[in-house]
Each structure stands twice: as structure tokens, then as C-alpha cells.
Structure 1
Amino acid sequence: MDNTHAKGNILGLLTILLWSSLALFTVLSGSIPPFQLLAISFFIASFIGLFMLKKQKRSFKELFKIPFKIYLVGLYGLFGYHFFYFVAIKNAPAIEANLLNYLWPLLIVVFSALLPNEKLKWYHIVGTFLALVGAFLLVSKGGKFEFDEQYFYGFACALAAAIIWSSYSVISKTLKHIPTFAVTGFCLLTALFSLIAHLILEQTIIPSATQLFASIMLGLGPVGGAFYLWDFAVKNGDIKILGSLSYLAPLLSTLILVFMGIAPLTSSVIFACILIVLGSIISSKEYIKVIKKFFIKS
């Protein structure tokens, strides 16, 4: 495993850590409508890319050299995922919608088998399945939920969100020739389309200081900055491992809410923690061996 490959896996894990703060800052954002929140967050995220361009001594014009079809892929992934996710939350119970949404790590592992030189091994499948069961326990509050036909549209949108994000991540793996600063354009377009969706579907809310702070933190972290890290991670790391480790996001997100006193610590949460951690360890078996050999040699 070369340094770039290892760095990709590490940055992928860092991305997952950033995503784990999504629930906390979303709660702190209060009554800001979803698409208004996205417009603000992705606008903030754009500045990260602009800073990246400046640090690499590149001009803004570099973004216009990125092929149009690549921007379609970025818009499909970033805006498409969030659009369908928020529509799902509005048209179906949050528990069931989240459960279907968190199929995306599993789908990443499955879709990755379609890539050249990629092959699923038994520990990828077992680890991902255990993590999926753990995520199920987290989002369903111990396995208590019922599907209702009246929420079919919301369920379909949640599933669409999972398919969009997982396929976007796997497609990104094939775009190693596209520099990560291209995500700047993805964020700008997503901010624009989110603003349009907000003006059509929502009523504007003037945020308080706390809500504005939460919006900025979302843009710097889970709904913005994390996408630059994820782009590098999926292009250079092991996408099967990253898919399995992604189940740590709902786990860590729940633990943060518990720590902050926003959510209770229940037996189902503890059991889910065990399953997700165990599943992530099993699916990362090959990578852990490499790390172990590295330290033994050192």
C-alpha cells in the first residue's frame, strides 16, 4: 500500500468523522428551511475550494477547464442526493427514511465490485452486513418501525438518495484524472440550485447568531468541506473499506447527540455501537494487517 492510498483511507475516515457532526449542527440550525440551509452551507464550502485554488497558485479560470459532463456528475451527487433526502424526510417518517438512506454505504461496497481490478471478499460482505444491522438499530430506535403505503413516495426518494450518493462515490473513483479542486464548482452549482429550490419551495428565515454559526460550521464540515476530502479519498483510497467505515457516521453522530444531552443512551444504541464497530473492523481486515506490519517493521 503506497502513501497516497493510505492517505486516501485516512482522509476518508476524517470525512466520516466530519459527517458525524451533521446531526448536531442540523439541530443547532433550528428552523432554517433545508434548502436555505444547503444554499448557505455550500456557499461557505465554495470558499474552501477557492482557498485551495489560491494555495495551489491556480486561478478561478481553472474551473472552466473542467469538462461540462464532470460538473453534471458533481451536481448529480451533491445536489441530487440532498434534494431527494430532504424530500424523503418531508414525505415519510424520519426513522424509515433514514434507514433507507443509510443503505448507501452498503451500495458503495456492492457497486465497487463493478469497477476494474476491484473484487469483493468475504470480510467486506460480512463486515458491511453487521454494520448495516447496527445502523438499522440506530435509525429505527431498536428495530421498531412499520412501513406504510401512504409514504411510498418518501421511501422511494430516500432510496433514490442512497443510490445517488453511492453511485456518485463509485463514479468518482473512475475520475482520478479530475483534480479535487473541481469540487469547488460542484459546491457553487449546488449552492445555486439549492437557492432556486429554496425560493420556489420555502419561506426565507432570518437566522439567529446560533443558527448562522451552525450553518457556517455545516459548510466548513459535514455539508461542504467534507466533500473535498471524500473526493480525494474515493479516488485514492480503498472504496470498499471506505464504504464499510461509512457506517461509523450514524454511530458517531448518535454518540455526539448522547454526549451533548440531546439523545438518550439506550441498550439498542450500545448494541448498535458494538455491531458497527465490529463490522467496520472485519471489513477493514486487510488494511489493519498492513498497519500492523508497518508498526512491527518500525
Structure 2
Amino acid sequence: MTDLYKYTLCGVTAILLWSCLIGLTRTVAEQFGPIGGAALIYSTASLFLMLVMGVPKLGRFSWRYLLVGSLLFVSYEICLALALGMANDRLQALEMAVINYLWPALTVLLAVVVSKSQTHWLVYPGIAVALFGVVWAVTGDGDLTIAQLTSNIATNPTTYSMAFIGAFIWAIYCNVTKRLANGQNAIVLFFILTAITLWIQYFISDEQGMSFTLPSTLNLILTGMVMGGGYALWNFAILKGNMVLLASLSYFTPVLSTLISSYILSVNLTSTFWQGVAMVTCGSLICWWYTRERS
């Protein structure tokens, strides 16, 4: 097997692992609590990443990249993890995931706004399709009205806000860190900082103590390894993998993630929900297609 195939396979595996994370993160939150569970996941993932990629050396990175990158990364990961963990039920957790997958379209939107350069006009309908897909999924089988949408959001405004804000934060992260990183990757350090921040949040919260059992501990270890393994494999994939293929496949993550997570969480999704997921995916693909770098 050539290096191209091996590194590309690493990327495909990373996408598959990431597609499992929504469901696994929710199950850990149910077992250990939203904040405590998230802190445990990121601690486990940090240990796994340090074993695979080594302990991060601060001297390799610019302080500007570390400051801005860590602030955005930690904020995003906490928003997503707590949105999943604090959702009223498993179906709502999957709604949080759909909102999160707005980030590819939002990344393109922010890139166009910041660069002030001309882009293909179909990018804007693509963004609109992705946004409409979220609305379509969140309203469920109810009427597609503002009243229905606000009624659903009102059941747990905190989690909906965190999911939406998180998508924007990750879009900013994707645009900003590419310019500041200078080819470096501080993902291990960012994971450690996320874990530390979550532990601080846990100890100042009124969340009850955690109870460890063999099944819950094994689930935690699995989730941490899946999360850390996904990032580690992707880090290898971007070195010599077929990034055009991997970028294309990554835009189907919403569909794959919803499929796998609904199985993990034993949630039967309506056709309306799947239609919303498909629209988010199609909208993101349109944005990517008309803004991709052409050789």
C-alpha cells in the first residue's frame, strides 16, 4: 500500500471516528453529568493524544497563535460538549449536532466577508440552504412557522444558544488559526486546556459527584480514544493524504454522524429531521465546491 493510500485511509478513519462522537459524548454525559462527563472525556483524549503525538512544546508556537487559537478552540469544544450533555433528551442532542454542522457554511461566509473578494453567487444560496436545513430539522413535524421554531427553542434556550454560538466560533477558528499557525498544530495543548477549563467549571458548579462503574468507565475510555484518535489520524492524513477526496468526504459527516449517533442513542428520527440534515450537507457542499482551490 502506497503512502498516499495509507495516509488517506487515516483520514477516512478519522471521519468515521468523528461521526461516532455525538452519540458517545451524550452517553458519557448521561453517566457522569454534562460538565463532569465532558471534563473526563477531554482528559482521557488529552492523555491519548500525548501518548500518540507527544507532549506539546510551547516554544514551537507563536504566542499569538496559542492565545487566539486556544481561546477559540476551548470555547467551541465547551459549547458543543455542554450543548450535547445539557440537551433535554437524546433527540434534542441530535438537534444540537445538526446546528453544529452549520460551521462549514459559516466558515465560507466569514471567509468571503473578511476577504471582501468576489465569489460565485451560488455560495449564498448554499449558505441559505444550510440554515434552512437547521430550521427544518429543529421544527420537527410541527408547522414551519416562527412561532413553532421559537417554541421549540424555548424548551432549552441555553443549549440551542451554545450550539449556534459554537458553530460560529469554529468558523472563526478555521479562518483565523490558518493564518496564525504557520504550519504548526497545537491541538494537544488545546485539548489539555479544554480539560482544565472544564474541571474548573465542574468544581465551581453544583453538579453532583460522579459514580464510576465498569460499563461507564469503559464507555468513557472508548469515547476519549475515539475523540483523540480522530484528531491524531487526521493530523497524519493532512501530511500526505488525498486532501481533495478527504475534504469531499468530510462534508458528508452530518449524514454519517446522524446515522451512527441515532443508532448509538437508539433514537428513531423522522423524515423531516433527515431532510434537514440533508439540506445542511448539501448547502455546505455547495459552499465548498464554489470556493475550493482549483489546481
What's the TM-score, normalizing by structure 1? 0.69
> Which stretch shifts more, 189-198 or 209-218?
209-218
Per the TM alignment, residue 111 of structure 1 is displaced from its structure 2 partner at its CA by 1.3
Cα pair 1:108 1:167 within 8 Å, conserved: yes
> Structure 1 residues 115, 214: closer, same or farther in 2, change over 3 A?
farther
**Does the 8 A contact of 1:173 with 1:234 survive in 2?**
no
User: Shift of the alpha carbon at 1:110?
Assistant: 0.7
Q: Is the contact made by 2:102 and 2:130 (CA closer than 8 Å) also made in structure 1? A: no
Match of 2:202 in 1: 198
Provide the aligned length of Structure 1 versus Structure 2. Answer: 276
2:27 is aligned with 1:23: no
Query: Deviations 1:151-209 (Å, cap 9, x if unpaired)?
Result: 666554444322222111211221341422x2111111111111111111122312322
Higher mean displacement: 85-94 or 205-214 = 85-94
Q: 1:19 to 1:220 in 2, by over 3 A?
A: same
Q: CA deviation at 1:116?
A: 5.6
Pairing of 1:1-298 with structure 2 (within 5 A): 11=11, 15-29=14-28, 30-54=30-54, 60=55, 62-85=57-80, 90=86, 94=92, 101-114=100-113, 120-142=119-141, 145-147=148-150, 155-180=160-185, 182-201=186-205, 202-222=207-227, 224-228=228-232, 248-260=252-264, 262-272=266-276, 274-276=278-280, 278-285=282-289
What does the per-residue CA deviation read over 1:29-65, in whole Å, with 9 as the maximum and x for residues that have no partner?
23212222222222222234324445xxxxx472344
**Structure 2: unaligned runs, 5 residues or longer:** none
User: TM-score w.r.t. structure 2 length?
Assistant: 0.70
Structure 1 unmatched runs, 5+: 55-59, 292-298
Q: What is the distance in 2 between the residues matched to 1:196 and 1:278?
A: 39
Identical columns (%) = 26
Quickly say closer, same or farther: Cα 1:283–1:50, change in 2 above 3 A: same
Between stretches 139-148 and 32-41, larger displacement belongs to 139-148
